[in-house]
Amino acid sequence: MPKAVASKPAVPNVGEFLTTREAAAILKLSEISIRRFLTLRKLKRYKVGSRTLLNAVEVRALVREV
């Protein structure tokens, strides 16, 4: 009988993250507006060192709302 393997949470690839500047360009908004979305928790921030990154899928989902 094969052993059950515990599933790991999916971790997005590095290519699936955007900077606030890239997200602002996609949404056609200012970087300040993107930071406002982060403060309001409409977008989730991922900190890598001192960098703030955003999940590209979440940003594209927000395009439909804006």
Q: What are 19-58's pLDDT values in tens digits?
A: 999 999 989 999 999 999 999 999 999 999 999 999 999 9
Give the domain extent around 54: 15-65
Domain assignment present for residue 21? The answer is: yes
Domain assignment present for residue 5? The answer is: no
Domain assignment present for residue 8? The answer is: no
* CATH number of the domain where residue 39 is located: 1.10.10
Nearest to 43 by CA among 16, 64, 61: 61
Domain assignment present for residue 56? The answer is: yes
Q: How confident is the model at residue 63 (pLDDT cuts 50, 70, 90)?
A: confident
The answer to whether the beta carbons of residues 19 and 51 sit under 8 Å apart is yes
Q: What is the total count of domains within the chain? A: 1
Helices (H), 16-55: 20-27, 31-39
Instruction: Report yes or no on whether pTM surpasses 0.85.
Output: no
Domain assignment present for residue 6? The answer is: no
